[in-house]
């Protein structure tokens, strides 16, 4: 059990904890009850600019530290996070609502970014070549970009923060993190770890606010800021890209998805069912990589739908913090209403309810595991992110048909393909317009791999070497002697 009085709830600026300058507080709500259980400082633009000032003055010293020293501090962050797995998981589960096994998985995944980038910090390798004319050498070095503003969503409150902070620090940048208002406590728990691990004052700052528009805008217009890394919805991403244009900031955008999950007749049925449960139900369906459209070829459809319904029906629904829960609440009532609307419309459009299909009575924001069969391709359920525990099955017959349907969206983040024929799987992967494809796997995320989307799912990559380069700029020196 979390004792809210032991939590950090003030802004983390310049290595210290301080209240918001206006004295305002923001409630943190437990989504399994709908009741506030804590509050955090509610920053205004002035507080955010104080954080930018702290980052700007700490940045040169941090950039100048030996890469090995930065690496060792990041390694310590990894160790502390793993030591605190139980308490962090309990906190994530309480403020986000996700089931405890999901929360533990998130803490381990989040910690891996510190470990991976501790290893990468000493391998920021440039390039030397002879100019084609032979007149000089071309020397390329990757230098830290400067102060970066990081904006993160509520669905993975620890991992979305560490996926940005770890590469930024490895590269030698200083940052201001603006976490989602729904899950601020996890961000402060991560800040505490960074502080204890020896990250110098000002290198990482965290400001929470209930009014993100003006707070983020003030930072994006401060000339000391050089980069923005955003994870969240596509509409807010578009808005921030426009704001970032004023100072021509380097932008990394991890936006919404609408992942197709394609099951061919020659797939291993049990493997495909295991995979779809992970791809659909991690975090109760509230993941950007969540299987949003489940395409099943005609020959396997009946068995697949029956197997999926049996597995979904076996998931205990309840508060995330209850040990038996495997499907927690959604983040808020708005999300329940949206899922309800999408399901109701899909059913009106001809889909058959195999399981669930109606919100649960309160308190809390619960929607039960739901399976719909025969969802129309044009249904909003298949065109928008559902962000809930609803599996909509769409039948298909040919490879060409399913590729065309899968690509018929403005998104292109993750896609999943199940087939025993690897050549077919690779050929389909080649044709899918998405940044990531999993073949016979329900999970794509890995700190060692470049995570990101094409089309309106985003710009840039997180994880791997690509993720670190987002926080650098290439400096080219022409050298003659
Ligand atoms: P959101 O876009 O509403 O909010 C994301 C962040 O932006 C939050 O910190 C929020 O406070 C802030 N924000 C909101 N309005 C803002 C504004 N006007 N100006 C500045 N900042 C603003 O998204 P969400 O509901 O928190 O998260 C869910 C979305 O995130 C989904 O679309 C999901 O697919 C996406 N997501 C993407 C990835 C990825 O890696 N591609 C990962 C996780 C979540």
Q: Express each pLDDT in 379-393 by its tens digit.
A: 999 999 999 999 999
For residue 473, give the 3-state DSSP assignment: strand
Q: Are 201 and 14 in contact (CB under 8 A)?
A: yes
Clarify whether residues 241 and 320 are in a common domain.
no
- Nearest alpha carbon to residue 144 among 220, 199, 63, 219: 63
Cite the DSSP H helix spans in 352-443: 380-383, 399-407, 422-431
Specify whether 228 is located in the same domain as 318.
no
Asked whether residue 387 falls in the same domain as residue 270, the answer is yes
Cis peptide before 363 (omega within 30 of 0): yes
Active site residues: 254
Q: Is residue 158 part of a domain?
A: yes
Q: What stretches in the chain show pLDDT beneath 50?
A: none
Look-up of token digits 């991560």: 190
* Helix (H) or strand (E) segment spanning residue 241: helix 234-245
- Our separate counts of H helices and E strands in the chain read 15, 20
Is 54 domain-assigned? yes
The domain spanning residue 267 has which CATH number? 3.40.309.10
Q: Which of 316, 256, 318 is nearest to 287 (CA)?
A: 256
User: Beta strand 390-396 with 370-373: parallel, antiparallel or unpaired?
Assistant: parallel
Give the distance between the most distant pair of CA atoms in the chain.
77
Q: 24 in a domain, yes or no?
A: yes
Is residue 181 within 6 Å of ligand 1 at its C-beta? yes
257 Cβ closer than 6 Å to some ligand 1 atom: yes
Structural domain including 48 reads 4-255+456-479
Output the pLDDT for position 256: 97
Which residue is it, tokens 């980069």? 227
Same domain flag for 263 and 251: no
User: What's the CA-to-centroid distance between 327 and ligand 1, angstroms?
Assistant: 22
Ligand 1 atom closest to the CA of 163, numbered from 1: 40
Looking at the structure, tell me whether residues 298 and 392 fall in a common domain: yes
Kindly report the CATH number assigned to the domain that includes residue 189: 3.40.605.10
Among protein residues, the one whose CA lies closest to atom 11 of ligand 1: 180
Same domain, 294 and 233: no
Distance CA 161, CA 156 (A): 8
Regarding whether 264 and 153 lie in a shared domain, the answer is no
With respect to residue 203, please indicate whether it lies within any of the assigned structural domains: yes
Residues 246, 264 within the same domain: no
Ligand 1 neighbourhood includes 21 CB (under 6 angstroms): no
Report the SS3 class of residue 46: helix
451: in domain: no
320: its two tokens: 């995330």
For residues 390 and 381, the answer to whether their CB atoms sit within 8 Å is yes
- Residue 266 domain-assigned (yes or no): yes
Query: Per-residue pLDDT tens for 36-93?
Result: 999 999 999 999 999 999 999 999 999 999 999 999 999 999 999 999 999 999 999 9
Kindly state the tokens that stand for 410: 């403005």
Count of C-beta atoms within a 10 Å radius of residue 431: 14
Global pTM exceeds 0.80: yes
On whether both 89 and 237 belong to a single domain, the answer is: yes
Please state the φ and ψ torsions of residue 312, each to the nearest 5 degrees. Answer: -65, -35
DSSP 131-184: -TTSS-EEEEEEEE--EEEEE--SSSTTHHHHHHHHHHHHHT-EEEEE--TTSH
Task: Name the residue among 226, 257, 248, 240 with its Cα closest to residue 470.
Answer: 226
Shared domain for 208 and 306, answered yes or no, is: no
Question: Measured between alpha carbons, how far is 43 from 11 in angstroms, rounded to an integer?
Answer: 8
Residue 361, pLDDT score = 94
* One domain, residues 198 and 291: no
The tally of domains found in the chain comes to 2
Take residue 287 and report the two structure tokens written for it.
């993941």
Nearest CA to ligand 1 atom 8: 180
Same domain, 434 and 473: no
Does residue 129 sit within a domain?
Answer: yes
Residue 407 three-state SS: helix
User: Is residue 166 a contact partner of residue 117, using CB atoms and an 8 Å limit?
Assistant: yes
């Amino acid at each position: 059990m979390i004792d809210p009085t032991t939590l950090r709830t003030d802004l983390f600026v310049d290595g210290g904890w301080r209240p918001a300058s206006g004295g305002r507080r923001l409630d943190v709500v437990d989504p399994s009850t709908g009741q506030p259980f804590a509050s955090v400082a509610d920053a205004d633009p002035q507080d955010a600019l104080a954080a930018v000032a702290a980052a700007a003055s700490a940045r040169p010293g941090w950039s100048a530290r030996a890469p090995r020293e930065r690496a060792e501090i990041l390694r310590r962050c990894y160790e502390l996070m793993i030591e605190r797995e139980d308490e962090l998981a309990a906190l994530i589960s309480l403020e986000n609502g996700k089931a405890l096994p999901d929360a533990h998985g998130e803490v381990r995944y989040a910690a891996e970014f510190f470990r991976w980038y501790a290893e990468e910090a000493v391998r920021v390798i440039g390039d030397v070549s002879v100019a084609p004319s032979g007149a000089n050498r071309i020397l390329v070095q990757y230098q830290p970009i400067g102060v970066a503003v990081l904006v993160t969503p509520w669905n993975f409150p620890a991992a979305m923060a560490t996926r940005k902070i770890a590469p930024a620090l490895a590269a030698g940048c200083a940052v201001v993190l603006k976490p989602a208002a729904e899950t601020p406590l996890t961000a402060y728990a991560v800040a505490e770890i960074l502080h204890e691990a020896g990250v110098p004052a000002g290198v990482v700052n965290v400001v929470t606010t209930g009014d993100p528009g003006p707070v983020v805008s003030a930072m994006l217009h401060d000339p000391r800021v050089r980069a923005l890394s955003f994870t969240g919805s596509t509409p807010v991403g578009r808005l921030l890209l426009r704001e970032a244009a004023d100072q021509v900031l380097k932008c990394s955008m991890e936006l919404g998805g609408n992942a197709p999950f394609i099951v061919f007749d020659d797939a291993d049925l049990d493997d495909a069912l295991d995979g779809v449960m992970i791809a659909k139900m991690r975090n109760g369906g509230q993941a950007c990589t969540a299987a949003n459209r489940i395409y099943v070829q005609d020959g396997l459809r009946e068995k697949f739908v029956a197997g999926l319904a049996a597995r979904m029906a076996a998931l205990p629904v309840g508060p995330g913090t209850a040990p038996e829960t495997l499907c927690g609440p959604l983040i808020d009532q708005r999300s329940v209403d949206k899922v309800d609307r999408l399901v109701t419309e899909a059913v009106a459009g001809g889909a058959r309810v195999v399981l669930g299909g109606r919100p649960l009575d309160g308190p809390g924001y619960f929607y039960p595991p739901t399976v719909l069969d025969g969802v129309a391709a044009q249904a909003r359920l298949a065109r928008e992110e559902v962000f809930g525990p609803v599996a909509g099955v769409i039948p298909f017959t040919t490879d060409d048909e399913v590729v065309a349907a899968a690509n018929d969206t403005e998104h292109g983040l993750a896609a999943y393909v199940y087939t025993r024929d690897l050549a077919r799987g690779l050929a389909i992967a080649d044709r899918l317009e998405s940044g990531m494809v999993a073949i016979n796997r329900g999970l794509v995320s890995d700190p060692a791999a470049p995570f990101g989307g094409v089309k309106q799912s985003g710009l840039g990559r997180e994880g791997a070497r690509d993720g670190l380069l987002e926080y650098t700029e290439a400096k080219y020196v022409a050298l003659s002697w």
